[in-house]
Amino acid sequence: MSIDQGDWDDGARASASTLLARAAAAARHADRRLAEAIDDFFVPDDSRLDDRTRAALAATLTAMVAVVEHDLRRRAVTHVSGTDPAAIERIRNGAPVLDRLVGSGLLRDFDLMRELIARTRQDLLVDLLPALPPDEIGSASLLARLAGSADAWVADAALAMMAAESRRRGLTDSNRLERTELPAELQHRLVWWVAAAIREQLGPSSADRAIVEAALRALADHDESDRLESAAMRLAATIDPQPAELATVLRHALGDRRVALVIALLGHALGIDYATMRQIVLDGGDQLWLALRGAGLDRATVARIGLSLCEADPRHDVEAFADQLEAIAAVTPDEARGALAPLRLHPDFRAAMAELEKRR
């Protein structure tokens, strides 16, 4: 009986220790959730993601991690020795790594989330913009007309953008991606994070080399020129509308709800990179009005574009835009381009200057 009692006491003490540890962890978790709820409460309304954007962002992030993970597991299996079937099984059927990456905080990366939030808002804007009736922009869409151009360069660039748009729409239609379409630097980070999470599941093993080789080959095969944003910039540069043509092309692109092309056309006209111009268009406000005037657009075109974007995004005040339309039109194109001149600098240069300023 004394032995039985001792066994019971040891087991009880172990269970009690486990219970105490779980209770302490639960308390810490509750405090963290409260801190996060407080932070969320004090986020200004104009900085808060609406429910639709939040859901779309979550779907995009989930799909991106999934497509990278599937690709790495598939590639890694081909590099594992056939004499280690257990490793092959663990690689092929490991638990999804998304929760681990989220819990680690790695996916809170500023550059990654800036890209994903902007891309999500851009994609949602496509559905929110009003489509112009065919009698205003022609029976065929702008891209369809460009794809049928006698100029082979223009036709090829238009077809490439149509293909890129189709891939991007796949996420909306099926919650799946064929590829991440991330810039190369962000793709590099995400691939190695996923690779590390897969390796963590396996522990030190003979599969380490296979995972590294899979990551290196995945990165070598990544082509950021396939991105919708890159395709839009190539098309804008190829058609290179002259100042007198730009208003018409923009009106047709906007009527077709080709948001990426609208951004690319403005960026090309002003010499501003896509990511910066995208943020200007999505945020609206003074910088956008300056960009429209800097591109040489007249009052009527500025009004059409401004009203369309304001009506599509509830965060923008249509009446406030209408009230300042006269002031916007009074800014000369030269004055507007001068005000936007810093944005034409290389983005890394701008980031370095901003970082230096913070450390003054």
Q: How many CB atoms lie within 10 A of CB 278?
A: 25
**CA–CA gap between residue 360 and residue 353 (Å, rounded):** 11
Integer CA distances (angstroms), 342 to 88, 200, 223, 237, in order: 53, 44, 29, 21
**HSE of 316, CA atoms in CB hemisphere, 13 A:** 22
**CA–CA gap between residue 254 and residue 302 (Å, rounded):** 12
Q: What SS3 class is residue 132?
A: coil
Please name the residue that has the structure tokens 């405090």: 31
- Quote the pTM value: 0.85
Q: What SS3 class is residue 350?
A: helix
Closest CA to 164 of 179, 176, 148, 151: 179
**CA–CA gap between residue 249 and residue 270 (Å, rounded):** 15
By the 10 Å C-beta count (0-12 exposed, 13-18 middle, 19+ buried), 145 is classed as: middle
Beta-carbon contacts of 270 under 8 Å, excluding residues fewer than 6 positions away, are 277, 291, 294, 295, 337, 340, 343, 344
- Cβ atoms 90, 203 nearer than 8 A: no
The number of helix segments (H) and strand segments (E) in the chain equals 20, 0
What are the tokens at 221?
């095969």
**CA–CA gap between residue 258 and residue 168 (Å, rounded):** 13
- Give pLDDT tens digits along the chain (360 positions): 444 555 556 667 677 788 888 887 777 777 777 787 887 778 787 778 888 999 999 999 999 999 999 999 999 988 876 667 877 888 888 899 999 999 999 999 999 999 999 999 999 998 888 766 555 555 678 999 999 999 999 999 999 999 999 888 877 677 778 889 999 999 999 999 999 999 998 877 768 888 999 999 999 999 888 899 999 999 999 999 988 899 999 999 998 899 999 999 999 999 999 999 999 999 888 899 999 999 999 999 999 898 888 888 877 778 888 888 899 999 999 999 999 999 999 988 988 988 888 887
What are the tokens at 233?
């910039």
Q: What SS3 class is residue 253?
A: helix
Beta-carbon contacts of 192 under 8 Å, excluding residues fewer than 6 positions away, are 215
- Cβ atoms 259, 231 nearer than 8 A: no
Closest CA to 344 of 264, 263, 265, 272: 272
What are the tokens at 316?
């923008």
Please name the residue that has the structure tokens 């800097």: 294
